[in-house]
Amino acid sequence: MAKLRSGVSSVVSSVAAYDVPHYYELALWHGADLDKIISFLLDVLKVHGRVQRGGTGRVLELACGNSALASGFMKRGFQFVGLDLNEKMLELSLLRTREAGHEIEVHHKDMKSFIIEKKCDLAFVMFNSVYRESNDEFVAHLKCVSSSLVPGGLYVLHMVVEGTHDDVYTTKNFKWKVKSGPVSIKAEFHRDVLDYVAQLRRETLQLRVVDKLKSSDEVIFTESSVDKVIYPQEFLMLLGSTDFEFVGWFNGFDLLATLDSTVGTDYLVAVIRKK
Ligand SMILES: C[S@@+](CC[C@H](N)C(=O)[O-])C[C@H]1O[C@@H](n2cnc3c(N)ncnc32)[C@H](O)[C@@H]1O
């Protein structure tokens, strides 16, 4: 146990950050503009989707975690379907949506080997949450998503394809702080290079939590994963092994935001459509 300058102790927890979903939810989603993201996803579906006769009204989030957008979709008349490998995240998803009076559908499955029998019009994934260590795993994932969509349905991938080249492999740090009631969180996200040729990097999320209802100590929760970098032209080539066609690149969750390809963006959104 380390002593912080303020006299507060700091403890490294053996519990992973995704296993404390209420802290993850606060760190990642506190104050987020949920309506903006939902409107973007529904506008993209309206403009670029080719689903038959009004579609199924079903929206699938891959690696849904705490399903921050679920209640917003349900309020707009869509059935939200969440898929995740972490049961604690799914429990929080169910709890939060029930608190809001909605019954969502959740699937405790791996995103690289699943099928959702009742097909969806739209699938999406946030914050580069496609867990892949090779192109083969990425294509396997795309095929699973495709099998869960109706023809003409869309898959929207947020930050999965690299929108900048300059700092893909240099250590990248994002740090931010969140406070709500008795809980304060210092969050940090960073990337480290593992293999330049295999295009592998490690992504690490660290949550330093002080929850005054429990203790005045700071508890550190960490989550790490290995990530295969995927470049735009590589992505387009990989689509050739699937029954998706390319629709377009967007700069964040804004249908009208210009993507300046000479500058690039950290928030590249790729939209593809099932043929
Ligand atoms: C960065 S969080 C994203 C959660 C949520 N979508 C969000 O935007 O905050 C990544 C999520 O992916 C899940 N996950 C990790 N590997 C997975 C896999 N192979 N299949 C399905 N979900 C996975 C984790 O359990 C975690 O909930």
Q: Is 84 in the pocket of ligand 1 (CB under 6 A)?
A: yes
In a domain, 224, yes or no: no
What's the pLDDT tens digit per position in 221-232? 999 999 999 999
H helices of the chain, in order, are: 21-29, 34-48, 70-75, 87-99, 135-147, 232-239
Residue 6 has pLDDT above 70, yes or no: no
**Cβ–Cβ < 8 Å for 225, 194:** no
| Banded pLDDT at 189 (limits 50, 70, 90) | very high
* Structure confidence at residue 211 (pLDDT): 97
* Structure confidence at residue 152 (pLDDT): 98
Separation of CA 2 and ligand 1 centre (Å) = 30
What's the pLDDT tens digit per position in 151-178? 999 999 999 999 887 665 555 678 999 9
In a domain, 7, yes or no: no
Find the helix packing angle between 87-99 and 21-29, rounded to 10°. Answer: 70
In a domain, 135, yes or no: yes
Q: Is 270 in the pocket of ligand 1 (CB under 6 A)?
A: no
Which tokens belong to 264? 């690039």
CATH number of the domain at 149, please. 3.40.50.150
- Percent with pLDDT over 70 in the chain: 95
Q: Is 129 in the pocket of ligand 1 (CB under 6 A)?
A: yes
Q: Is 64 in the pocket of ligand 1 (CB under 6 A)?
A: yes
CB atoms within 10 A of CB 16: 15
Q: Where are the beta strands (DSSP E) in 159-196?
A: 172-180, 183-195
Number of independent structural domains in the chain: 1
In a domain, 8, yes or no: no
Range of the domain at 146: 29-162+230-274
If you count them, how many residues does the chain have?
275
Separation of CA 153 and ligand 1 centre (Å) = 22
Separation of CA 6 and ligand 1 centre (Å) = 34
| Banded pLDDT at 13 (limits 50, 70, 90) | very high
What's the pLDDT tens digit per position in 93-143? 999 999 999 999 999 999 999 999 999 999 999 999 999 999 999 999 999
In a domain, 178, yes or no: no
In a domain, 259, yes or no: yes
In a domain, 24, yes or no: no
In a domain, 112, yes or no: yes
Residue 66 has pLDDT above 60, yes or no: yes
